[in-house]
Structure 1
Amino acid sequence: MVQGIAAGAAVPRGMLIADAWSQLGDDVAPLSNASGRPLARTVKLLLDPLVLRPNLNPRFAGGLIGVEHVDDLRRAVADAGPALAATAAWFQLVKRARRRAGVTEGNPQDLYFQRCFELAHLHGDPADAPDAEAIAAATVAEVRAERGEVTVDRLRRFMTDPDQVVRLAGLLQRAWDDRPAPRPAPHDGLTAFLDTCATAPSDAQWNALAANGVGSAEAVELDEPRVARGYGLTARERPEPPQLGDRASKKALPPPFDRSIMERLFAAFTSVFQRESMADIPSMVVGEIHRSAAAWQLADEPSRVAMALGRDASTGIGYGGQATPASDANARLMARYAREAYVHAVQRRPDPESAMVPDDLRREIMDVQEPYLRRLWARLHGRELRGETTAAGDVWDLLDGVFRSVLLDQRDRLRRLLERDGGRP
């Protein structure tokens, strides 16, 4: 709970929204993450544009909310509670209709969250609508018709057009030839931000890190032999210009820096794009070419700062990791890792490096930083493609959320292996 706020103080927006959301209860669980907080897409697609409407209510905008507006924001979320509960119920129904229709393209949250909010206002709770199943099926069919041609097909045709291949190859070569020369790193301030971002994120510190180009400066080391490979971002000695590519599969994606332009866009198009974001394929391809030649292979300085913060926050986590945390954020991630039951299960085994654990998974457990930075890069890359900005109040949720995702993946994979081997997770 957010309480006991001093007069004239301000409250981080994300914390306040999470607190107000927690009062809505289990009825909004389909719109929440495992911690009971609203999903990032819930905030982006529902709360911001349809409930809080910061463009019309500037007091709800920004990373910090003035204490005089805290109750107003809470009231806005609470008042929308019944509509959000109905939205969640419609979303469950629409997802079932989607499965029955055999629809697999696109992210359901992107496609249906706002449609379900409309259904909630038109029909109330689906339990009270006698034709709810038919309405859900019609919604799926309508969205599918509006989306028209599958975007991945358009992307593939564009990138395999012979005339485009020649032009794009020239753009790619020039983008890498024109990369700016490395410059010395400024006084970074990364540790100071990591010491407070989980509890009291500072807009001033965050803005200074981006304005001073700290993320770009911290990327200089990636061109040194084996540095980017040590972070799990490439399998090569050092990053090289990517291929344009003509095919992709989400089941066989290489490390981020080794992905072709086709693979980078394919991974994002199949999961995060809304129709309006897919309209201009040529511009997106050109943008990705330039992004591939930028620091951390990301376009925006805040994204690069976030990668540098993630690198430092994840340092020393794994078998034989450092004993003394380097920052508060580093300590929190270490503590989360140490609490994982599967870590202790593997440590109790006579030979933790037995053949029972495949080499790739064993490496990930021994050094969590590699899978962590790969997933953080993918998350930031997706945010850039969606045009999402990253504010100081978003950083800890981003860093911690990616870490949780990595641990859940390792836990699930190890549980299956241990059970098959006769052990207990």
Structure 2
Amino acid sequence: MPPPSQPNGERRPRAMVIDHAWRGLGPLAQSLSGPGGAPLTRTVKLIVLPLIVRPALRPELSADFLGPEQAARLDELIRESGTRLAATAQWFTLLKRTRRALGIVAGNPQDLYFQRCFELATEHGAPSAGADAMARAVVEDVADTADGRTVEALKSYLADAARRSRLDGELATAWESRPPAPAADPSAAVALAAEVLDACGAPDRTGNAPAYASMIEAGLGGLFGRALWEHANGAWGRDDLPTHLGLTVRQVPPRPEVGRGASTATLPAPLDRTLFERLFVVLQSSARREELPTVPELVGREARRSCAPLGLNDESLRVAVVLGGRLAVGLDPLGTGEHTPGRTAAHRAVNSRWRREASVLRARRMTVSPRPDPDGGVLDALAQDLRTPWAAYMRRLWVRLHGRDVRDAPLEDLASAWAVLDGVARSVMMDHRARVRSALRTLSAAPAPAAGPRSA
């Protein structure tokens, strides 16, 4: 039967089904949950989807929206795994305690240990006699495996003055030897991108679309990136947007520097990042660092990549930037109809999904209301973000494509390209929803202003 609260026949977001089933487990998996009781993002990404749901074996559960039968099956899978998840949480607590005792600080414990803890829970159940020794062995093994693939190793590698000087010279030489910008108008690539995005809304989009293959074969992604080096404008049919769509805050991308540090709170626009900042994001977000090259090889590859068009080596990933830009400039979550040239099937799919969001509906009312924002501007600022959704979309898309480039994972067909483009749109939408909810919780928890004196 469908999970509670799901009307018969209604499709529900898979994320909502997971959240509902997880909360039904109670406090048993507390260390895998957030403060509100929902599963952590990494819990879903590293444990629930790949190890419990296993979409490759259960393709009916791979969709973002599930019918009643599929939702019930997903709910059942998670609840059946309750005991194992409780044991996973206990192992994670033990591994973190062991990590502290050994003085290990490199890496995010969730990225490093979540899947190993699930394996331990599956094989041994909850920690019992001998668990301390087993936990120590796992922590030391993970530390050895990730050796040479940490932010600390990157910082140490780039601290050497002679090495920094050599890398700076290599970057300068690579930047000066870039191929010249093409004479062709980058809007030609954008026009073909519209055809590809229209194919994304077709039932048979699982194969290669001729236009998508043509864009890759013609090197239109690289041509587009080279055009950005010459301050090309007007490619998107909108005079109010730069062609780079916020991938840099400059008129043209600057020559990359080596860099000395990075912070997630202050990362520049993607094409303005230093070598250190580019690799910092890769190392911070990698769940399986053992699959990455060691730091010296990572740095050498990134030095060459950072001077390539759009900061990417693979042509299919560059084409995805062009497709993403064409999609991004037509995103219209508020339904204002402003500045939305040439809607495609992909635009209709993403915009219709976004406009159903409760947070968007509230934001739409706020942006057209003549009354001042009663909450001091918090929600109004979030509403304004929906007027420029392309900014967050392009930044997140580039980071995802860059991660694939580091791992030599091209987008070989239209289905894989659309999965990334649509996935980024969903990610931006979910992030905005979370920010609205957080703002509402903060506002509801704030004490009401004291009543002023009443006049007779």
TM-score, L = length of structure 2 = 0.66
> Equivalences for 1:386-401 in 2 at 5 Å?
386-392=407-413, 393-401=415-423
Please tell me whether the aligned partners of residues 197 and 396 of structure 1 are also in contact (alpha carbons under 8 angstroms).
Answer: yes
Pick the aligned partner of 2:344 from 319, 327, 330.
327
Corresponding residue of 2:306? 292
SS at match of 1:263: helix
Residue 341 of structure 1 pairs with residue 358 of structure 2: yes
Match in the other structure for 1:315 = 329
Task: Measure, in 1, the Cα distance between the counterparts of 2:172 and 2:297.
Answer: 17
Q: 1:43 to 1:398 in 2, by over 3 A?
A: farther
Describe the shift of the 1:228–1:248 C-alpha distance in structure 2 as closer, same or farther (beyond 3 A): farther
SS in 1 for 2:322: helix
Structure 1 residue 228, shift from structure 2 partner: 5.2
User: 1:353 & 1:276 partners in 2: Cα distance?
Assistant: 53
Task: Look up the equivalent residue of 1:309 and give its one-letter code.
Answer: L
**2:208 equivalent to 1:204:** yes
Partner of 1:219: 225
Q: Name 1:232's counterpart in structure 2.
A: 246
User: Which letter maps to 1:193?
Assistant: V
Judge conservation of contact 1:302–1:390 (CA < 8 Å) in 2. Answer: yes
2:257 and 2:274 in contact (8 A); partners too: yes
Larger CA deviation: 153-162 vs 90-99: 90-99
Equivalent residue pairs, number: 371
**Maintained 8 Å contact 1:215/1:304:** yes
Task: Please say if residues 182 and 220 of structure 1, whose CA atoms lie closer than 8 Å, have aligned partners that are also in contact.
Answer: yes
Asked if the contact 1:356/1:421 (under 8 Å) is kept, the reply is: no
Shift of 1:396: 2.5
User: Counterpart of 2:314 in structure 1: which amino acid?
Assistant: D
In the alignment, what sits opposite 1:66? none
Letter in 2 for 1:167: R
Cα offsets for 1:186-210 (capped at 9, x unmatched): 6664233322335433543244432
- Structure 2 partner of 1:4: none
Question: How far did 1:216 drift?
Answer: 1.8
Tell me which moved more, 281-290 or 163-172.
281-290
SS of the counterpart of 1:191?
Answer: helix
Question: Taking every aligned residue pair, what percent have the same amino acid on both sides?
Answer: 31
**One-letter amino acid matched to 2:199:** T
1:386-408 deviation per Cα after TM superposition (whole angstroms, max 9, x unaligned):
33333433223222221122122
Residue aligned with 1:396, SS: helix
TM-score relative to the length of structure 1: 0.70
- Name the SS of the counterpart of 1:195 in structure 2: helix
Q: 1:142 to 1:272 in 2, by over 3 A?
A: same
Residue 193 of structure 1 pairs with residue 210 of structure 2: no
SS in 1 for 2:265: helix
Change (3 A) 1:141 1:112: closer
TM-aligned CA distance change 1:85 to 1:194, over 3 Å: farther
Secondary structure at the counterpart of residue 240 of structure 1: coil
Partner of 1:141: 139
Distance 1:238 1:353 in 2: 38
Alignment of 1:253-272 (within 5 A): 253-272=267-286
Q: Deviations over 1:369-400 (max 9, x none)?
A: 01000001111111222333334332232222
The residue aligned with 1:372 is: 393
Within 1, Cα distance between the matches of 2:302 and 2:133? Answer: 39
Residues 44 and 132 (structure 1), Cα distance of their counterparts in 2 relative to 1, 3 Å cut: farther
**Post-superposition CA distance 1:324-381 (Å, at most 9, x none):** 7621111111112211212221232335885614897565321100100000111111
Match of 1:151 in 2: 150
Letter in 2 for 1:170: G
CA contact (8 A) 2:46 2:115 kept: no
C-alpha RMSD of matched pairs (Å): 4.5
Counterpart in the other structure of 1:385: 406
Query: How many angstroms apart in 1 are the aligned matches of 2:429 and 2:133?
Result: 39
Alignment of 1:165-204 (within 5 A): 165-183=164-182, 184=184, 189-197=192-200, 199-204=203-208
Pairs within 5 Å for 1:50-61: none
Change (3 A) 1:165 1:336: same
Aligned mate of 1:415, from 413, 437, 447: 437
The answer to whether the Cα contact below 8 Å between 1:253 and 1:259 also exists between their aligned partners in 2 is yes
The letter for the 2-side match of 1:192 is: E
For 1:156, give the aligned amino acid: K
CA distance in 1 between partners of 2:298 and 2:137 (Å): 29
Structure 1 unaligned blocks of 5 or more:
1-17, 53-59, 61-79
**1:315, CA displacement in angstroms?**
2.0
Q: Structure 1 residues 280 and 310 mapped into 2: Cα distance closer, same or farther (>3 Å)? A: same
Deviations 1:135-170 (CA, angstroms, capped at 9, x unpaired): 874465234442457721221122121111111111
